[in-house]
Amino acid sequence: MDTSISIAKLLLPEILIDYFKLTKHEVKNGELHFHFTELNTIPEEFKALKLNSKGFFPEATIQDFPIRGKKVFLHVIRRRWVEESSKKIITRDWQLVAKGTRITSEFAVFLKDISK
């Protein structure tokens, strides 16, 4: 396994490493920014359907755990597929962002636990 992927799995939500391509990373104004684009891999639950990749949703920016005192922002571009016969839009149901926030679910749970 690539060393950078191994390190990324320790620092970032594993779901991003498995289903997205890291397209760019940068340090900007003392913040870490990671840019991800969803891979063109049809979700398991839709394998029986004839799907075609039809572009992307607008980028979502999500705050994650700080790393070495730097704020971390994940810039995520999700893919959409169109079912060939019905023309219905199909997407994965990502539970990456905590409801009502712009932070990852894992980070929200952590913050909730330390505030007790």
**Model pLDDT for residues 46-102, shown as the tens digit of each residue:** 888 899 999 998 998 888 888 889 999 989 898 999 999 899 998 876 655 445 555
State both tokens at 13.
Answer: 């939500």
pLDDT for position 6? 75
pLDDT for position 70? 92
pTM (2 d.p.): 0.75
pLDDT for position 94? 64
Query: How far is Cα 96 from Cα 58, in angstroms, rounded to an integer?
Result: 16
pLDDT above 90 (res 27): yes
Query: How far is Cα 12 from Cα 74, in angstroms, rounded to an integer?
Result: 9
